């Protein structure tokens, strides 16, 4: 019997950077149900055929074997957003493989397997991935983080794909932002901290002429977010406050693949 499975991705990060000049790279992710990976699996007694999401048969077998599992039959992976744009495709596809192979262990162990396979991981294996400060190159939770107030994000793709390089440590220090995030108590404060993280990233890493800050001001957003390695950009609004002209305005600025979704739980 064919199995269909979906693993949700994310939409870049609220925060990402180092904890101190030589500290680990840490992030707070922004979950998004409109991104991720869909897997279709037709079981068979032996053999494996693989298609989609830029994974080869040897890669699939290697990762599943690292978990002590086995996968046979015909597997097709489909990324809802192209890889390299900052939506967690790399991690989501590994989680799909783990679930299809029968993995039922703790998420911490699965995170370590993902980092061991690719050198970095998003915290998508946890039930509330946005509520942890995540060391992406270590596969570890550094500390719990607060639940965010409910909000809406509208955004899309701006610029070229940018793959995560596990050797890349050129990120700004966000120690102060992490401290402030942990004690923030309003959407305006959270949104402002996300905006500052994005600003620091663009200042250090580029690309130049990113229009997102100007768009946030034009549309009256509380703040904005980005994929710190990737091309996703989004504006943060209070619930029900996204302007009717927002979608057209983003498209006119060169964004593509526009999506709108809800965030926060309180």
Determine the pLDDT at residue 50.
95
Both structure tokens of 178: 């992490």
Determine the pLDDT at residue 1.
76
Determine the pLDDT at residue 161.
87
Does the structure show a pLDDT above 90 at 247? yes
Both structure tokens of 47: 């053999």
Give percent of the chain with pLDDT exceeding 70: 100
Does the structure show a pLDDT above 80 at 210? yes
Lowest mean pLDDT among 52-56, 103-107, 193-197, 240-244: 52-56
Q: Where are the alpha helices (DSSP H) in the chain?
A: 57-66, 89-100, 107-118, 175-182, 187-205, 212-219, 246-252
Determine the pLDDT at residue 178.
98
Identify the sign of the CA torsion 61, 63, 64, 68. Answer: positive
Segment 62-67 long-range contacts (CB within 8 Å, at least 24 positions apart): 62/117, 63/94, 63/97, 63/98, 63/113, 63/117, 64/97, 64/98, 64/101, 66/113, 66/116, 66/117, 67/98, 67/101, 67/103, 67/105, 67/110, 67/113
**β-sheet bridge partners, residue 28:** 15
Asked if the peptide bond before residue 210 counts as cis, ω within 30 degrees of 0, the response is: no
Average pLDDT over residues 8-27: 96
Determine the pLDDT at residue 166.
81
Closest CA to 31 of 262, 192, 251, 231: 262
Average pLDDT over residues 40-44: 95
Closest CA to 156 of 86, 9, 259, 263: 259
Could you please report the per-residue DSSP string of 134-187?
EETTTTEEEEE-PPPPPEEEEEEE-S------TT-----B-HHHHHHHHT--SH
Determine the pLDDT at residue 206.
92
Tell me phi and psi for residue 30, to 5 degrees: -115, 100
Does the structure show a pLDDT above 90 at 53? no
Does the structure show a pLDDT above 90 at 163? no
Determine the pLDDT at residue 80.
96
Give percent of the chain with pLDDT exceeding 90: 92
Mean pLDDT of the chain, nearest integer: 96
Q: What is the maximum alpha-carbon separation in the chain?
A: 58
Determine the pLDDT at residue 165.
83
Q: Does the pTM of the predicted model rise above 0.85?
A: yes
Count of all residues that appear for the chain in the document: 266
Q: How many angstroms from the chain centroid is the CA of residue 102? A: 24
Q: Which domains does the chain have, with CATH numbers?
A: 3-143 (3.30.230.10), 146-263 (3.30.70.890)
The band of 154, judged by pLDDT with boundaries at 50, 70 and 90, is: very high
Determine the pLDDT at residue 237.
98
């Amino acid at each position: 019997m064919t199995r269909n499975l979906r693993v949700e991705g994310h939409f870049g990060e609220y925060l990402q950077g180092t904890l101190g000049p030589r500290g680990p790279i840490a992030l707070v992710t922004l979950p998004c149900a409109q991104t991720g990976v869909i897997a279709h699996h037709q079981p068979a007694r032996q053999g494996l055929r693989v298609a989609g999401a830029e994974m080869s048969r040897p890669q699939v077998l290697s990762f599943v074997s690292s978990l002590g599992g086995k996968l046979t039959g015909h597997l097709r992976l489909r990324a809802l957003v192209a890889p390299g744009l900052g939506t967690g495709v790399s991690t989501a596809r590994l989680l799909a493989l783990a679930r299809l192979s029968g993995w039922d262990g703790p998420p911490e162990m699965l995170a370590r397997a993902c980092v061991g396979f690719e050198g970095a991981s998003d915290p998508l294996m946890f039930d509330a991935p946005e509520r942890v400060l995540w060391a992406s190159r270590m596969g570890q939770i550094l500390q719990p983080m607060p639940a965010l107030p409910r909000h809406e994000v509208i955004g899309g793709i701006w610029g070229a794909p940018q793959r995560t390089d596990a050797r890349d440590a050129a990120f700004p220090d966000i120690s102060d932002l992490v401290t402030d995030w942990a004690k923030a108590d309003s959407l305006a404060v959270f949104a402002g901290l996300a905006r500052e993280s994005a600003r620091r990233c663009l200042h250090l890493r580029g690309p130049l002429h990113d229009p997102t800050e100007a768009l946030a001001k034009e549309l009256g957003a509380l703040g904005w977010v980005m994929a710190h390695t990737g091309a996703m950009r989004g504006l943060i609004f209070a619930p029900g406050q996204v302007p009717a002209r927002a979608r057209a305005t983003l498209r006119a600025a060169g964004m593509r693949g526009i999506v709108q979704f809800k965030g926060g739980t309180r």
